[in-house]
Structure 1
Amino acid sequence: MFSLAVLIFALLGVGLLLGLVFTVLGLVFKLIFLPLQIGFWLLRGVFGLALGVLGFLFFLPILGLALPFLLVIFALPLALIGLIIWIVKRSTVSGSGA
Structure 2
Amino acid sequence: MFELGLLLLLLVGGGLVLSLAFTLLGVVFKLILLPFHVAFWLLRGVLGFALGLVGLILFLPVLGVALPALILVFGLPLAVIGLIVWLVKRSTVHSA
* TM-score (norm. length: structure 2): 0.37
Query: Higher relative contact order at CA 8 Å, sep ≥6: structure 1 or structure 2?
Result: 1
Task: Identify, as 1 or 2, the structure richer in helix.
Answer: 2
